[in-house]
């Protein structure tokens, strides 16, 4: 966000000749004078050999072998007898000339004829890497197995891993190379580059002291700590971001463009209550805007410092004035959010680290500048929440996580500056009698980590709001997962520490609307008898399979029971064998369990388990699943018509024609979360929904209840004019025929608005098999995804329509 004071890591290691193609043969490092002379001699001999071959009848002149191993024979290459090294040079020349097929043909001959010599294998990997990194990685792994002590084999294999984006594997290979070839200088340099790229200053320090480090050790700072990526299935793709703020955010577009989630970014400079200018691109080109309000515009330098400490009422008046200025500035900056529904992220303020009037004075008092700014942050949060499709970015919390002493400037500038420490003073202080070093040499900063973490936090909120890769159910094992040890064997167990913390995390997931389930090889009666958590009973789990059947079979039953796809589920088990079985049977399921120290943080902080809003339906989801299980049990023992008639099903349809409608948030969530009953699979942005409704479209929301439970808002039909563009419905009410009633009611509503016939469509996805026949089932005619209705639909007799208020 702020101009960095250190050299930021590049997206790839800064090896020599980085402007050249990555896989160029690189010189051996640290060649002694003797080796240089020997190399020159070899090249001269090669040149003489080539010249002599042009003279008819001349004998073949063997070359000196620079690797000091014997290659006793020659071979025929395109009708010419050459030795190993000449053939290798010919292959390299062919590759450099663009004839890679010819080069690989020569190398194939060399590898077959001289299988114990690694140079040909290494060159083969380099050439293949230009075409296909995955294939090059396969070849590299095989070469490492064949030449476990091959210095240059390990070198090229490490570079292949880096180029493929697998820094952990690359680091491990460089580390292995550095351990058995200590004079190979590129290995430790490459390791340092990787550590720098991952902001592992802790390990860089360790390497500088011991020469050893392990990138696979989890990093516990910055973006990787606060925003776990373990549950991410698909990358976040953004087109363009608008950054609005003071000069302090002028560097933030650079952060965005060079991040793990890159996007084009534009910066607009605004200070004080400046009018919002027209952005550089059309508003529709932006996926979001990021706003930073300068604290100095809210608290001018002279305002706070001139207040008298013995007159506390002055501080109250000053605070109210600051709130008014803040509201005025925010209102101007949010113009695009109001006019176009542009998703907006607003950063809050950094609070001073100390009470400037003294640490012994009252903490929660407006005369304490730190508390004054804290209260401003509360006011800002309230103002942001009043706008639709807008979110507060808590950079104050991020600064606390990273460490304020290595970030925040409370030591040089006025407190209302409210920024990380920079070296802006240095150039103005060069004429002093006693020289000064840069401020960041006295106070080292990690502002680059701060910048990257802010952007990662914004992306995380975006993923949660869009419900990208959202987790809908968490299934857990019991022994050594929900507690330590085997409960049935010991008659009790130790739950203090991480087990209790893990259970608490599950309780928070339940509040978010995530379904909880148990899959355990155990005796259910014994588990019920010895259950160790009085405050979190077995009834908190919506579904349970505690038996001695295969876990894959149990999970398959649960998926059918709750109508979820494997990719919507996280499974946690301490047993690696059981995890492998589950992963083999359900490849899309996210399976974890080896390290209980990671579970709580992962479940609570991963964007995929979070939601932008908690609706009544979300909070009651577990109870609905239990009611569904009871309903399904009854269904199996009764004829279908009798069963449906006993349920007392009631439905109502509510027209949502504005994004500020109280039911909009749940309808929007349902459209973006539902996969199986979703006629098109289309995901909506807030701006798209707002534009749709502004042109006459509406979301028709279906609410359902029966004798067992109130299911709440479980379906949405998107309709405009004479077209139903999409129908999404929760799988919890599948089988009740409520989808037929919903179509009937929406068709009637559209006809009352003037539609003679109504069209609808289906776009097939990998998951929406359940919804593909809905239009045929409700009397529409058509084919190939396009359907039309000319007649009303009869509501099933077991369903009662309730007129919504």
What is the C-alpha separation between 400 and 422, in angstroms, rounded? 18
The 10s digit of each residue's pLDDT in 555-580 is 999 998 888 899 999 999 999 999 99
pLDDT score for 220: 54
Phi, psi of 145 (to 5 degrees): -70, -35
What's the token pair of residue 274?
């400046």
The answer to whether residue 790 scores a pLDDT higher than 60 is yes
Give mean pLDDT, residues 380-393: 95
Between 590-599, 618-627, 678-687, the lowest mean confidence (pLDDT) is in 618-627
User: Of 546, 542, 719, 556, which Cα lies nearest the Cα of 624?
Assistant: 542
410 pLDDT tier (thresholds 50, 70, 90): confident
Q: Is 20 exposed, middle or buried (0-12, 13-18, 19+ CB in 10 A)?
A: exposed
Between 82-96, 255-269, 339-353, 432-446, the lowest mean confidence (pLDDT) is in 82-96
pLDDT score for 21: 33
Give mean pLDDT, residues 757-782: 92
The answer to whether residue 749 scores a pLDDT higher than 80 is yes
Give mean pLDDT, residues 778-805: 88
What is the C-alpha separation between 104 and 90, in angstroms, rounded? 11
pLDDT score for 20: 33
The answer to whether residue 214 scores a pLDDT higher than 80 is no
The answer to whether residue 71 scores a pLDDT higher than 70 is no
The answer to whether residue 331 scores a pLDDT higher than 60 is yes
Cα 715 vs. chain centroid, distance in angstroms? 28
698 pLDDT tier (thresholds 50, 70, 90): very high
Per residue in 684-707, is it b (16+ CB within 10 Å) or e — as a string? bbbbebbebbeeebbbbbbbbbbe
Phi, psi of 533 (to 5 degrees): -110, 95
- Beta-strand ranges (E) seen in 668-803 are 698-705, 710-720, 723-729, 758-761, 781-783, 786-789, 799-801
What is the C-alpha separation between 95 and 312, in angstroms, rounded? 79
The 10s digit of each residue's pLDDT in 164-213 is 888 888 888 988 888 888 777 788 888 877 877 766 655 555 555 445 55
Percent of the chain whose pLDDT exceeds 90: 52
The answer to whether residue 9 scores a pLDDT higher than 70 is no
The 10s digit of each residue's pLDDT in 659-696 is 989 999 899 989 988 888 999 999 998 889 999 999 99
Query: Residue 272 contacts by C-beta under 8 Å, 6 or more apart in sequence?
Result: 294, 297, 329
What is the C-alpha separation between 105 and 322, in angstroms, rounded? 75
pLDDT score for 633: 67
What is the C-alpha separation between 288 and 256, in angstroms, rounded? 12
pLDDT score for 49: 52
What's the chain's average pLDDT?
84
| DSSP per-residue codes, 685-708 | -HHHHHHHHHTT-EEEEEEEE-SS
The answer to whether residue 64 scores a pLDDT higher than 70 is no
The answer to whether residue 639 scores a pLDDT higher than 50 is yes
Give mean pLDDT, residues 383-404: 92
What's the token pair of residue 3?
């101009």
Between 56-70, 139-153, 305-319, 615-629, the lowest mean confidence (pLDDT) is in 56-70
Give mean pLDDT, residues 741-763: 93
What is the reported pTM? Answer: 0.66
709 pLDDT tier (thresholds 50, 70, 90): confident
703 pLDDT tier (thresholds 50, 70, 90): very high
The conformational region for residue 737 under phi > 0 = left, psi -120 to 50 = alpha, else beta, is: left
pLDDT score for 46: 55
Please state at what angle helix 498-512 crosses helix 596-605, rounded to 10 degrees.
20
pLDDT score for 802: 86
What is the C-alpha separation between 736 and 746, in angstroms, rounded? 18
């Amino acid at each position: 966000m702020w101009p960095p004071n250190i050299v930021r890591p590049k997206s790839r290691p800064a090896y020599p000749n980085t402007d050249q193609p990555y896989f160029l043969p690189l010189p051996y490092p640290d060649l002694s004078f003797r080796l240089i002379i020997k190399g020159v001699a070899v090249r001269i001999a090669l040149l003489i050999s080539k010249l002599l071959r042009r003279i008819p009848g001349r004998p073949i002149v063997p070359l000196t072998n620079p690797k000091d191993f014997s290659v006793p024979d020659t071979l025929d290459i395109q009708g010419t007898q050459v030795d190993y090294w000449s053939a290798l040079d010919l292959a390299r020349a062919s590759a450099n000339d663009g004839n890679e097929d010819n080069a690989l043909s020569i190398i194939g001959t060399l590898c077959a004829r001289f299988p114990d010599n690694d140079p040909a294998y290494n060159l083969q990997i380099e050439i293949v890497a230009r075409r296909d990194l995955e294939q090059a990685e396969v070849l590299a792994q095989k070469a490492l197995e064949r030449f476990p002590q091959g210095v240059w084999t390990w070198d090229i294999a490490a570079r292949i891993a880096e180029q493929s984006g697998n820094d952990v594997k690359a680091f491990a290979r460089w580390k292995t190379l550095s351990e058995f070839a200590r004079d190979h200088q590129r290995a430790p340099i490459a390791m340092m580059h990787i550590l720098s790229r991952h902001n592992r200053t802790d390990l860089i320090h360790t390497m500088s002291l011991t020469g050893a480090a392990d990138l696979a050790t989890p990093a516990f700072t910055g973006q990787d700590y606060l925003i776990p990526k373990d549950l991410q299935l698909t990358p976040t793709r953004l087109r363009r971001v608008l950054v609005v703020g003071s000069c302090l955010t002028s560097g933030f577009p650079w952060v965005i463009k060079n991040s793990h989630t890159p996007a084009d970014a534009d910066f607009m400079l605004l200070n004080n209550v400046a009018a919002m200018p027209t952005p550089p691109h059309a508003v529709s080109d932006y996926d979001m805007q990021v706003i930073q309000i300068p604290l100095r515009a809210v608290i001018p330098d002279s305002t706070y410092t001139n207040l008298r400490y013995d007159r506390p009422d002055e501080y109250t008046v000053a605070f109210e004035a600051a709130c008014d200025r803040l509201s005025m500035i925010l209102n101007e900056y949010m113009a695009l959010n109001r006019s176009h529904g542009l998703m907006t992220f607003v950063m809050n303020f950094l609070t001073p680290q100390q009470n400037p009037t003294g640490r012994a004075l009252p903490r929660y008092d407006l005369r304490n500048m730190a508390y004054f700014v804290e209260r401003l942050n509360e006011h800002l949060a309230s103002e942001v929440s009043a706008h639709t499709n807008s979110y507060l970015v808590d950079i104050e919390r991020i600064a606390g996580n990273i460490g304020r002493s290595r970030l925040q400037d409370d030591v040089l500038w006025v407190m209302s500056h409210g920024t990380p420490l920079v070296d802006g003073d240095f150039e103005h202080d060069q004429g002093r009698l006693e020289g000064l070093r840069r401020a960041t040499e006295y106070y080292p900063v990690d502002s680059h980590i701060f910048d990257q973490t802010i952007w990662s936090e914004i992306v995380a909120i975006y993923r949660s709001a869009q419900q990208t890769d959202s987790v809908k159910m968490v299934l857990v094992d019991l022994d050594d997962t929900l507690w330590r040890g085997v409960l049935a064997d010991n008659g009790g167990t130790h739950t203090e520490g991480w087990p209790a913390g893990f259970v608490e995390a599950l309780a928070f997931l339940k509040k978010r609307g995530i379904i909880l389930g148990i899959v355990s090889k155990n005796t259910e009666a014994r588990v019920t008898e010895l259950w160790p958590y009085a405050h979190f009973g077995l009834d908190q789990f919506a579904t349970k399979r505690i038996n001695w059947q295969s876990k894959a079979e149990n999970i398959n039953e649960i998926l059918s029971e709750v109508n979820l796809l494997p990719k919507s589920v996280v499974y946690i088990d301490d047993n690696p064998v059981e995890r492998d079985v589950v992963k083999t049977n359900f490849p899309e399921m996210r399976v974890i369990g080896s390290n209980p120290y990671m579970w709580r943080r992962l479940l609570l902080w991963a964007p995929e388990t979070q939601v932008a809003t908690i609706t009544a339906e979300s909070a009651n989801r577990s109870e609905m699943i239990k009611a569904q299980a009871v309903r399904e049990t009854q269904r199996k023992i009764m004829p279908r018509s009798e069963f449906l008639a006993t349920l007392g099903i009631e439905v109502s349809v509510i027209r949502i024609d504005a994004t500020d409608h109280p039911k909009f948030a749940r309808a929007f969530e349902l459209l973006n979360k539902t996969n199986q009953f979703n006629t098109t699979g289309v995901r909506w942005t807030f701006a798209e929904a707002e534009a749709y409704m502004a042109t006459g479209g509406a979301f028709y929301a279906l609410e359902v209840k029966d004798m067992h439970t109130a299911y709440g808002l479980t379906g949405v039909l998107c309709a405009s004019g004479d077209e139903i563009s999409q129908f999404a419905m929760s799988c919890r009410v599948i089988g009740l025929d409520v989808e037929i009633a919903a179509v009937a009611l929406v068709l009637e509503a559209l006809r009352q608005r003037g539609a003679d016939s109504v069209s609808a469509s289906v776009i097939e996805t990998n998951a929406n098999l359940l919804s593909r026949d809905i239009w045929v089932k409700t009397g529409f005619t058509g084919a190939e995804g396009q359907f039309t209705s000319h007649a009303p639909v009869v509501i099933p007799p077991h369903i009662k329509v309730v007129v919504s208020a």
